């Protein structure tokens, strides 16, 4: 038994907003991708799975419009923006939930804003009990990056990436699988540079060096794009949790990553010789 009290190590899967939405079109979901991913998740039959999805063109667009991440300025219009950002996430979440349930996955959506409060943007309090009980029963907790309350800022944005790392560490995850719209982590942003190299394997040491090269913000990502993602995942990698970044827009990649099969992507491990977890 782990300190978390779970008998099996869960897998934490992040479905990137870049996969499940069209990031350049406000409030536009990619239903084809969502349904295919639900099918892959169903087929993988992972005994204990937590699914977290990102905001894509639902969360980020609205969060940016109302500067939610910067905190509450005391204006009623911004407060309305906070609730609208959360609503946009619920809308996207419900599409993911519907697809999962249609594939007979016992997914249970829980709003992060209902059980997490942050302090200056970092998760400060979280109630783990409902998640643990769901996992024990074999249900799949479904969470997302959300507009949440913050002790210092009033409210802020909690990225799906921070949530993924935090849950993985708490529950002693077997692995983290992160789906994005590129083949993995490259030496530079493939959207801006001709043909950067795909980093197939990476240790924490190399990742720290690479971080400076990885692009910071992305026009429609309030949580720092790839640089933010890597920074958030680091604590989980430091705990020895193998983390795989794969292309979720390509069929079967997430399936293979979930199963621990060989797959195109970036495998990040704490040390060179770290044994593969199956
Ligand atoms: N070195 C890099 N390797 C791979 N992708 C990179 C790199 N640098 C920047 N990127 C960009 O990061 C993007 C993925 O991060 P982004 O935050 O936009 O998506 P996401 O996390 O899936 O979405 P969300 O935050 O909504 O969940 C890719 O679309 C890619 O263009
Ligand atoms: Mg992101």
pLDDT of residue 217: 59
What does the alpha-carbon distance between residue 111 and residue 73 come to, in Å, rounded to a whole number? 23
pLDDT digits (tens, 9 = 90+) for 218-237: 667 888 889 999 999 999 99
Distance 133 CA to ligand 1 centre (A): 32
pLDDT digits (tens, 9 = 90+) for 10-31: 999 999 999 999 988 999 999 9
Distance 197 CA to ligand 2 centre (A): 21
Checking DSSP bridges between strand 266-269 and strand 107-109, what pairing results, if any?
Answer: unpaired
Distance 225 CA to ligand 1 centre (A): 5
252: CB partners within 8 A, 6+ apart: 40
Q: How confident is the model at residue 278 (pLDDT cuts 50, 70, 90)?
A: very low
pLDDT of residue 205: 92
Distance 56 CA to ligand 1 centre (A): 10
212-225 exposure pattern, b = at least 16 Cβ within 10 A, e = fewer: eebeeebebbbbbb
64 or 276, which is more confident: 64
Checking DSSP bridges between strand 154-158 and strand 140-144, what pairing results, if any?
Answer: unpaired
pLDDT above 90 (res 76):
yes
Residue nearest to atom 19 of ligand 1 (CA): 18
Per-residue pLDDT, averaged over 76-103, amounts to: 98
Is residue 234 exposed (0-12), middle (13-18) or buried (19+ Cβ within 10 Å)?
A: middle
pLDDT of residue 7: 80
Ligand at minimal distance from the CA of 215 is 1
Please name the residue that has the structure tokens 């030496």: 187
pLDDT above 70 (res 108):
yes
Residue nearest to atom 2 of ligand 1 (CA): 189
Give Dmax (Cα) for the chain: 54
pLDDT above 80 (res 168):
yes
pLDDT digits (tens, 9 = 90+) for 32-55: 999 999 999 999 999 999 999 999
Q: How confident is the model at residue 1 (pLDDT cuts 50, 70, 90)?
A: very low
Q: DSSP for 46-64, please give it.
A: -SSEEEEE--HHHHHHHHH
pLDDT above 90 (res 195):
no
Checking DSSP bridges between strand 154-158 and strand 146-150, what pairing results, if any?
Answer: antiparallel
- Angstrom CA distances, 168 to 50, 85, 127, stand at 9, 25, 14
User: Strands across the sheet with 154-158, in order?
Assistant: 122-126, 116-119, 146-150, 154-158
pLDDT digits (tens, 9 = 90+) for 235-274: 999 999 999 999 999 999 999 999 999 999 999 999 986 5
pLDDT of residue 275: 54
pLDDT above 50 (res 178):
yes
Per-residue pLDDT, averaged over 58-72, amounts to: 95
Ligand 1: lining residues by beta carbon, under 6 Å: 16-18, 54-56, 60, 160, 180-182, 185-186, 188-191, 214-215, 218, 221, 223, 225-226, 229
Using the 8-state DSSP alphabet, how is residue 183 labeled?
Answer: S
């Amino acid at each position: 038994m782990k300190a978390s009290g779970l008998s099996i190590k869960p897998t934490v899967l992040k479905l990137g907003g870049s996969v499940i939405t069209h990031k350049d079109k406000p409030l536009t979901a990619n239903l084809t991708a969502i349904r295919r991913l639900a099918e892959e998740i169903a087929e993988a039959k992972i005994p204990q799975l937590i699914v977290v999805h990102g905001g894509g063109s639902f969360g980020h667009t609205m969060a940016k419009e109302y500067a939610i991440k910067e905190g509450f300025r005391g204006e009623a219009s911004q407060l309305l923006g906070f609730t609208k950002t959360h609503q946009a996430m619920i809308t996207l979440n419900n599409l993911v939930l519907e697809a999962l349930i249609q594939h007979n996955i016992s997914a249970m959506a829980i709003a992060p804003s209902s059980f997490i409060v942050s302090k200056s943007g970092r998760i400060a309090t979280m109630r783990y009990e409902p998640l643990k009980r769901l996992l024990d029963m074999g249900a799949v907790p479904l969470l997302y990056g959300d507009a949440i309350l913050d002790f210092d800022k009033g409210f802020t944005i909690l990225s799906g990436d921070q949530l993924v790392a935090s849950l993985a560490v708490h529950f002693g995850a077997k692995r983290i699988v992160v789906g994005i719209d590129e083949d993995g982590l490259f030496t530079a942003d493939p959207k801006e540079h001709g043909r950067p190299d795909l980093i197939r394997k990476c240790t924490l040491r190399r990742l720290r060096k690479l971080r400076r090269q990885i692009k910071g913000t992305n026009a429609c990502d309030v949580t720092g794009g790839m640089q933010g993602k890597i920074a958030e995942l680091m604590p989980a990698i430091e705990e020895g949790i193998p983390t795989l970044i794969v292309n979720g827009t390509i069929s079967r990649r997430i399936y293979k990553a979930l199963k621990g099969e060989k797959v195109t992507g970036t495998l990040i491990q704490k040390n060179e010789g770290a044994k593969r977890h199956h």
